[in-house]
Amino acid sequence: MSHEPTRSRQDVSSSGNSPNPSGSAFEGRTFYIKTFGCQMNVHDSERMAGLLSAEGGQPVTEPGAADIILVNTCTIRDKADQKALSDLGRIRQVRKDGPGTVLAVTGCMAQREGEEIFRLVPDVDLILGPSQIRNLIPLLDTVSGERTRVDGTLWPVPEMTTPPALRPPGVSAFVTVQEGCDKACAYCVVPATRGAERSRPIGDILQEAEELVSLGYREITLLGQNVNGYGQKGDTAGASFPELLRRLSELPGLLRVRFTTSHPMDMSDDLLDVMGSSSRVMPHLHLPVQSGSDRMLAKMQRGYTLETYRRWVGKLREKVPGAALTTDLIVGFCSETEEDFEQTLSVVDEFRFDGAFSFIYSPRPSTPAHAWGDIPPRQVSVERLERLQKRIEQQAMERNQTLVGSDVEILTEKWDPETRIAVGRTPQFLTVRAAVAPEDADPALGSLLPVRIEQAARAGLKGKALPHA
């Protein structure tokens, strides 16, 4: 996914950083960012764009027009590595000529591969991992000043400050609250690429949220590799994750709060109580289960059994009626049998997830399972994934059909006055296209719009906006 930041409203959201300082070495220099991977990577790119913009840099939409090119990589699966390397090959051919042009590789693949990146892509000038984003400007200064390759992954990890972020226009924004992971899932490369868990002080998060509201954002999504592990190390001035949600839900002008991703081992009754009691904390929980087989969960080193997961799902549905539950699922993990897979299908039938990210296991270096064998044949895993996704899609369609005739409330994200179609999401994160009658007032972006659902499809809902003020 290409991330081409554009200014929104005023429009660098920052915490103590003054944009465009006089005399900056980056004044007037252009930059281009290409982003692969998860929401954390998308927001990391926003923060790198914010740092460069604060120094006077200007975003461009093509790498051939950029003085500074940043390729923000993912390494969760081998396919992600190959996509990034392929794109780097293309960028090498079109990068802007000139002695001051810098090509940097950032993100999880850069952290994992280190100096090997220089061998794989000889034109690369700088590499830095996710935790080094706060060092971006001094690292670029070093590269530009010494005209030498720099491995930023070897620099000391900076304090968890709040870099400015250059966000695209809209009403929703990402806010990082926690980074890294202390879990030891056998398949997962995140602890090796993003390090140990760290949480931001609650005061910094609240300040950033207040600034976002002042800029017109009405929904924020809290991000973390293990977001409900926020504050467990005592690094947040004593605030827990439920307390953070409570404080954010009290901010004037902030209409919706979301969060992702949660780990079953760090669920709490307090978290579900906040979700059930606050109208601003959205009733949507993304809780990865990964497999329906206890044998597989143990081999994956997930730290819980299916019964533990089942207990939390039961509490969610008791305390947060109508909540959406989405998940992650892996097929083809080491030694997975047809019986293990059938148990995963049974779990899908039992919990009837509102959505799922499902993947074939991809062995990753720096993980415990990398050296393990006994991986099912590729074609077997492909067939299992197809069966799994078909089941999930069927259930999503059935769920959407039950909403026909019901009234929902969307946060208006897009409005087309010519077609009079508003687009937004329900509290459960379902996309709705709503027709607004000519006699009704135009909905403002960032406003809540009541809609009666008239038609359902697997990918979303269509309806008619109800009269609104």
Q: Which domain holds residue 448?
A: 407-465
Do 136 and 203 fall into the same domain? Answer: no
Q: Is 325 a domain residue?
A: no
Of the pLDDT bands very low, low, confident and very high (cuts 50, 70, 90), residue 59 is: very high
Do 275 and 180 fall into the same domain? Answer: yes
Do 7 and 146 fall into the same domain? Answer: yes
Q: What mean pLDDT comes out for the span 151-176?
A: 90
Q: Is 348 a domain residue?
A: no
Q: Is 174 a domain residue?
A: yes
Residue 251 belongs to domain with CATH number: 3.30.750.210
Q: Is 62 a domain residue?
A: yes
Do 145 and 176 fall into the same domain? Answer: no
Q: Decide if pLDDT at 469 tops 70.
A: no
Could you read off the pLDDT of 424-436 as tens digits, one per residue? 999 999 999 999 9
Q: What mean pLDDT comes out for the span 57-79?
A: 94
Residue labelled with tokens 């404080």: 247
pTM for the model stands at: 0.90
Could you read off the pLDDT of 106-128 as tens digits, one per residue? 999 999 999 999 999 999 999 99
Q: Is 108 a domain residue?
A: yes
Q: Decide if pLDDT at 446 tops 50.
A: yes
Of the listed ranges 212-216, 232-236, 312-316, 328-332, the one predicted with least confidence: 232-236
The total number of structural domains that make up the chain: 3
Residue 428 belongs to domain with CATH number: 2.40.50
Q: Is 401 a domain residue?
A: no
Do 94 and 203 fall into the same domain? Answer: no
pLDDT at res. 343: 98
Q: How many CA atoms lie within 13 A of 312 on its CB side?
A: 22
Q: Is 135 a domain residue?
A: yes
Domain end marker among 246, 266, 282: 282
Name the more confident of 96 and 463: 463
Domain end marker among 154, 186, 210: 154
Q: Mean pLDDT across the chain, nearest whole number? A: 91
Do 43 and 138 fall into the same domain? Answer: yes
Name the more confident of 123 and 162: 123
Domain end marker among 154, 182, 198: 154
What is the distance between the alpha carbons of residues 367 and 373, in angstroms, rounded to a whole number? 13
144's tokens: 């530009």
Could you read off the pLDDT of 360-406 as tens digits, one per residue? 999 999 999 999 989 999 999 999 999 999 999 999 999 999 999 99
Of the pLDDT bands very low, low, confident and very high (cuts 50, 70, 90), residue 23 is: low
Q: Decide if pLDDT at 467 tops 90.
A: no
Q: Decide if pLDDT at 14 tops 50.
A: no
Of the pLDDT bands very low, low, confident and very high (cuts 50, 70, 90), residue 459 is: confident
Q: Decide if pLDDT at 5 tops 80.
A: no
In percent, how much of the chain has pLDDT > 90? 84
Do 143 and 176 fall into the same domain? Answer: no
Q: What mean pLDDT comes out for the span 274-290?
A: 98
In the chain, the largest separation of any two C-alpha atoms, in whole Å, equals 66
Of the pLDDT bands very low, low, confident and very high (cuts 50, 70, 90), residue 443 is: very high
Cβ–Cβ under 8 Å, residues 442 and 415? yes
Do 148 and 39 fall into the same domain? Answer: yes
Q: Is 40 a domain residue?
A: yes
